[in-house]
A and B are shown apart, each in its own frame.
Chain A
């Protein structure tokens, strides 16, 4: 199998705080993981590509200093939303790549008040 988990599944925080989301590949090692964001009624938008042991590659328009990505091991990537604001409220989904295919985590729903 190829199972990917995310934690937390849901988080509510106050404006200005930082939130860390974990993405784990449970039964395989993933050199590459991806972070997506999905606003209501919109498509998944790739935020960044996370490579184990190196810096993440961010898509155009995504602030790397606001969305910190760490991929310190072959089974864990983290996304930290720093100084979150209400406009950061969204569904954040990670995926891990195995044999050229992406396996998606269940997503994290972030609500910033």
Chain B
């Protein structure tokens, strides 16, 4: 079983749509969770951290369910510029910092 699993997609949605991505992780001791965005042939960029209480940043909402070892990302009012691959990322360590485990990414394509 992969340490971090995501639906690879692609998700093809019209502008303005709401889209949700799911992710599961296998290491119950994991402490830190993130969503990254990766554009084609570029490095990943941090989109947002994911907190236990859930958190929102504009059109983006992240949720964490530790009991189910499940993370989600909701994008509301999709824009063309949201087209990218979204990576679910987990830090499996108790320590801050340290290595990150990446999911394979979910590809999103927003169409006009």
A49 in the interface (beta carbon within 8 A): yes
Once the chains bind, are A42 and B43 in contact (CB under 8 Å)? no
CB within 8 Å of B: which A28-53 residues: 32, 34, 36, 41-46, 49
Interchain nearest-CB distance for B112 vs A (Å): 25
CB within 8 Å of B: which A75-108 residues: 91, 93, 97, 100-102, 104-107
Once the chains bind, are A32 and B97 in contact (CB under 8 Å)? yes
* Chain A residues within 8 Å of chain B by Cβ, number: 21
Q: How far is the CA of A49 from the CA of B97 in the complex (A)?
A: 12
Instruction: Considering the complex, give the chain B residue whose CB is closest to the CB of A45.
Output: B102
Once the chains bind, are B105 and A43 in contact (CB under 8 Å)? yes
Return the contact of B100 from the options A42, A102, A109 (Cβ within 8 A).
A102
Q: Hey, which chain B residues are within 8 Å of A36, CB to CB?
A: 102
Once the chains bind, are B97 and A100 in contact (CB under 8 Å)? yes
> From DSSP, what is the main secondary structure of chain A's interface residues?
strand
Q: How far is the CA of A102 from the CA of B46 in the complex (A)?
A: 9
Name 7 A/B residue pairs within 8 A (Cβ), A-sorted: A36-B102, A43-B4, A43-B103, A102-B100, A104-B45, A105-B43, A107-B43
Q: Hey, which chain A residues are within 8 Å of B96, CB to CB?
A: 100
CB within 8 Å of B: which A9-63 residues: 32, 34, 36, 41-46, 49
Q: Hey, which chain B residues are within 8 Å of A97, CB to CB?
A: 97
